[in-house]
Every structure is written in C-alpha cells, then in structure tokens.
Chain A
Amino acid sequence: MRALRLPLGILAGFALAALLAPLLAPYDPIAHLDPLGSALQAPSAAHWMGTDPYSRDVLSRLLFGARASLGIATLAVAVALSLGTLVGAVAAVRGGFIDALLMRCTDAMLAIPRLLLLLLVVAASGPLPPAALAAVLGATGWMSAARLVRQETRRLLATEHVKAAIALGVPRRTLWRGHILPGLLPTLGVAATVAFAAALPLEAALSFLGLGVAPPHASWGNIILEAEGRLLRAWWLVLFPTLAIVGATLTANLLAERVSMRREDAA
C-alpha cells in the first residue's frame, strides 16, 4: 500500500485543485480582462502563468481547465470500466460463441484508431457538451479493460480456489463477491488507471484540434491551442498546460505500474 501512497496523493492534489478552482483562481477564467493592454503577457506577479491572446489569466484557466479535463477523463474511465467489465466478464463466463462474438467486436473497435473514431463521431454529431464527450471517450475506450477483465476472470474461474468454492456449493452471489471479485480488484485497478492515462491526453488532443471542450470554456488542451502560430512568443501557453497534462498522466502511469506490480506479486 505504501508504494501507492505517493501517486494517489498527487492525484488527490490534482482533484482538490480542480474542485476548489473557484476559490483558488485569482481571476475569472473566461472574462477578457483587458484585451488591449494585457493580452499575451509573460508570467508576472499579477499573472503567475501569464495571459492568453484574449488577455485571460492562464492560471485561472488552468485551474478551471482541470475541472473539465480531469472531470471528463474520470467520467470516461467510469463508462469504459463499466462497459469493459461487463463485456469481459460475460465473455469469460459464457465462453463459446458469445465469447468469440464479443472478442471480435472488441478487436474491431481496437482496429479503428481511437482518435479517428472520435473524429468520426464528432463529424457526425457536431461539437459535443462535456458530459457527452466523456461518454463518447468511455464508449471508445472500454476494449483494453474488457480484454484484461476477460483474461483475469478466465484465469480466476480456472483456479483451484474458485473450483473448490463451486464444488462446496457456495451460492452464485457469494462466489462472485467472496471468491472472484477480490482477485479481480487489482486488475480493475490497473484497467482504471490505464484507461485514465489514455483518456486524459485524448481529451487534450481533441480540445487542441478544436473539437473537444468548446471555447470559451477552458480545458488543458485548448489553452495550448491558443499558442498556435506564436509558439516561441507565448511559450507559457504551451509550458504550463503541458506540465499539468504530463503530470497527471505520468502519475496515472506510475499508479498503473505499481498496482500491476502488486497484482503480479499477489498472483
């Protein structure tokens, strides 16, 4: 558990910053403060992270952007994990034709590059509100969770202890809750962190393409978009959101690595 404390703590810090954004942000993230006087200003005492071309405060946008980016990613993980667990567990338990069918569908979803699939959805539906964006991100990201859950469930169903519990006549609910789920939890943990580490950069990428969180609302990705064409002159518009995205993704990757290490040790 100790190895998980650091990454979990950092993620909690990110979440806290997002939740407390209205209290922490020094300015209104959307208001054009002084379009003529203070657009594209480098970091200073008044604007710790500078301002964007519309004279909005980057720190305030970063804090409110955390709400959008982390919120969407978290919701997407919830959707992906639910879908993936359902598909994986059903495939593992049913086996045979159902298993083959579900796994071919998973393969098909994996064969379409996720970003292109998202672009197709956005092309078909037009700009999406944040909740819908999260749902779509989740609906295109359940496959690795499904594969992991299927594999692990199959392994667990074949273990001596699950077979012994079945032979003992343990009722089905207790069998899942008491003998299968405890073994599955670390895998779900890995699947969740991996899904998070994939969803966060994808949302950023979509917003960077102008197809994600719609301006004027901030997301980490669309702050960077404002730097297009003036990368060197407005380095702060790239640097700070990049640090936020990389920080959160790295922490999630670190968490995934440590959870899967624990999982292997346990197995």
Chain B
Amino acid sequence: MKIIKSTFFILKKVIQIIPLYFIFSIITIILNAILVWGQLYIIEQTVTMVELGNSTFKEILLFIVVLSCINLFCSSVNRFFGDYLKPKYRHTWMKKIQYLLYEKAKELPIEYYDDPKKYDELSRALKQDLSSINAFDNFINFVKNIVSMAVMVVYICVNVPILFIITLFASIINIVCGSKILKIYHDEYKETELDRRKRVYVARVFYLEKYTMDIKTTNVGEMLKNMEKEGYEAVDTRCNNDNKKSRKWYFLDNGIYYVLNQFIIYFYLMYSVFFKGMLIGKFSALASACHKFSGRFYSLVSSFTSLRRNLIEIEDFVWLLNYQPEKEIENDNNVIDFKEVHIQNLSFAYPNQEQPSLQNISIQIKRGQKIAIIGYNGAGKTTLTKLLLKLYPPLNGEIFIDDMDYPNINRKQISSLFSIVLQNFQIYCATVLENILMHRPNNDEEKEKAIHALKKVGLYEKVMEYPNGLDTILTKEFNNDGIELSGGERQRMVLARVFASDAPIIILDEPTSALDPTAEKNINDEIMRLCEEENKTLILISHRLSTIVNVDTIYMMKEGQIIEEGNHHSLMLKKGSYYEMFEAQAKLYRES
C-alpha cells in the first residue's frame, strides 16, 4: 500500500512542479507503442509482399519508405526528449524540490537532529531529490513496457489467438516466482542494513579530514579495515545463501518460460506453415514478435524491480514533504519590546531519556542584566539555552517574555530577541558580510554595522587584507580560493555576529574557548561594554570562572538543578560548590 501511495504522491508532485515533463512522458509512451507496432509490421508486410509476388519493387519500396518515416519520427522525438528535455526538466525538478525539502527541514523539531534514527530519516530524505525523479522515470518506463507488451500481445493474438493463452500462463508463472524472489531479497536488504551502514561509516572516517591524524598515528585504520572486512563477508555470505534459496524459483520460471516460448510457439507456428498454409512472411514476423516479446518481458520484470526499490527508497522523501509542522502563532509578528525573561519551574527531559536534564529551574532576568550559568560537564547548561531558544518544548513549567508565554511567541519573534554564539559554532561558506549578518546585506547601514562588529572583535584589518574584503568567501567548500580562518579567527568571526545584531538578549556558550588570554580579555571587555551601552541582556555560559566574575548573578548548575545563585562575592563567602570550583581553578594559577 505504501508503494501505491508513494507512486501517487510522486505523480502528483511531478504534475504540480513540472507538468510539461509529465505530458512529454505520456507522449513518449504513445510514440513507443506506435514504434513497436511499426517495427513488427514493416517486416511482416515486406516479406509477404515479396512472397506473394503481386507487387512491384516500386510499391514495396514506397511501403518501406513510408513506414520507416513513421518509425523514425517516433524514435527521433523520443530521443530528443531523452536527450534534451529530460535533463532540463530533471534539473528544474531538483531545484524546486530542494527548495521544498529544505523549507520542511527547517521546520522540523530539533529532536530530529538528536535521535540517530530520526536523523537518518532526515538525511536520507534530503538526499532523495534525485531518486524521487528517478522513481517517476522508472514508473513511466514501467508503463511504457506494459504498453509495448500489450501492443505485441495484440499483434500476436490477432494473428494466432491461441498464443494469448500461452502468454497469459507465462506471465502468471513469472509473477508468482518473481514475488517469491523479491521477498527473499527484500529480507536480505533489510537484514544486512547494519553491515552496509558500517561500510559507509568506515569510508566516511577515511575521507574526513578530522580523522586523518588518528589514522596516521594510531592503529585505528587497521580496526576500521577489519570492520569493513567483516561487513563485506557477512553480506557476501548472506547473499550467497539467498542466491541458493532463490535458485529453484528462477529455474522454475525460466524452465516453463523456455518450454513455452521455444517449444510450443515454434511448434505451433511451424505446424501452421506446414499444414495450414501460413505464409513464411507471417511466420517470421510472428516468430520475431514472440522473441522480442520475451525480451520485453524481462525488461518489464526488471523495471518493476527497480521501480519497487525506488519507491521503497523514497519513503523518507514522501514523509518529509508531507510533514505538517505545528502551526505558528500568527500574532501580528510584533517585535517584542523586551523587558524581562522569566523562567518558571522549568523541567525538561530529552526524548527517550529517563533522567531529566533540567529540574525545576526558575530564573528571572531583566533587561540590561548580565547573568552567568556555570557548572560541571553535563549539568544542563546548554540544554537550558536550547529551551530559551524555543527549540524544545518544556516538560513542565513556563517561560515568559514580559507577560507573554512561549507558546504565544512565534519563531520570528524568538529569533529577533536573541543573538547567540554556540559551543559548536559554524562558519558558513558565504561572504564575510553574510557570515556576520546571516543574510544578504540589504543596505549600506547593515554593511556599516558589520564593519563596526569586525572592528570590535579585532578582525577588521585582517579582513581588509583579503582580495575581496568584506565580500571574500569564507571556507574552501565552494572554491579553493576561499579563505580558511584559524581557530581563534573563527571564534572572533562568530562573535562579530553578536556585535552586528539588534537582538536585545545575547547568549554566549563557551564563547572564548579558542582564544588566547589577551584576545579573551579584550573581547570580554567589548561584550560587557556593548551590553552596557545598548542596554542588552547577557547570558553567559562558561567553564572559565575568571570570565564571569563581573556579572550580576551567577547560577551554578549541577545535574539539571540550580544549586547556588548570587553574585561572585556572595558565592565566595558561602564557601559552597562555587567556591570549591573557583579555588580549584585558581590554584592552577597560584605558585606553590
């Protein structure tokens, strides 16, 4: 059923997106049918005309020329379609379907990136932009094969009706055996998926640069090669066994087929020639029709197999395009005049995880306040920021901006509220300007802002040395002329986003981990100044306690809970966990 649904879905999409492609595909089916008939008829009629001897050579020649022209017309149109229109429309499809896919991907809840299984679905769906149109082509191919077979069946049966029964019988046998075989391979495909995935994993480790150091300096390469070998052997053995299992069905299928095709049909036709006065011309045309028919029959079966495989493959694609994101609240998109964030008794657990990542968190942050969230590894600091960004819905509790609660604030408003630098930040393959603004600059004012930001993070001079200045493309993803930034420069570039943003709340998650002490201090000072000058709110997450000494309130987290809060001074006096952590770090800097 799923397959039929997928088929309809693809047909619908193709008709919507590239209707002309659909029409041309239908035309090729028709032309192909005419061609099949023409090729049979030209042979039969020529031989018969010669054999009967009642036509002149001129008449025969005329017949051949007329029919050849029809045939050539059909095949030429089909060829032009395949050679020119097909690639053109396929790329139109790629362009438009990618747009739709990416739009949907953007709307997916962030859980899809956390759960490996869902993530697989997502990444498969995005990779199916091409296989989806292949599925359509395979469907058309399948129909084309059926139609041309039908033409042959009609041709054969009009001449010798009894052959129809034989053909029907052969088809039934073929379908039965075919489905048995398909099942065996389908099971195999499903059950060896893990082994195949392992091989993909090994390949990925080998071609990603981040792994090369390990491969060169440790034994890891050998282990991976072993993994690959085991995977290959497992699949190969399985496949060999399945071949043996499916053999009898093949032999049955082929055996019956050859007995019918080579024996009964030849026998019947020759019998007609000898005793019923069938003309040689007709005989040879029918024999060749039967021969071609069987060839077609096999391509029908194989086109069905690849169609089926294709349709199974694109399940994820169909799912993603059908995905209905939760409706956004259409509340006039008003820019919120932010005054305070209020987190109330917030609890949260990741899906499929028993232990809650956040428990009963309450924080109130006023405009212009600077707070820091610190804690041990895995304390839930990053999770809290993700909830603040409305990437996950809380399990319990609420978050308010002013007096609006989160369910009533839409994505757009959220993104206008926050500017963020995450732990795993990314530099994108785009110009320097675009990397800072996160969109194409609309006017000179925005450009000025980006320049200002670059100056603040101390990158302006460096950028101006690049051949294209602010329009230089970063990373070498597109082009080897692109600029690769060093670790520290990357972090500065990302921090520049904060300085160029109008958002009233800044979230920084380990913002200076790749910076040396001098740069760290300078940038921290700049950020503090920015917050004061523009009355912005700062939420800082850090391991380096030295960077947070000056904030208004420090929240210390442990196992998803806030265990201490207050400013640096009061927490030090308390001599609790904060004190302990601070001292541990400070000791490293004190001479014994």
Chains A and B belong together in one complex: no
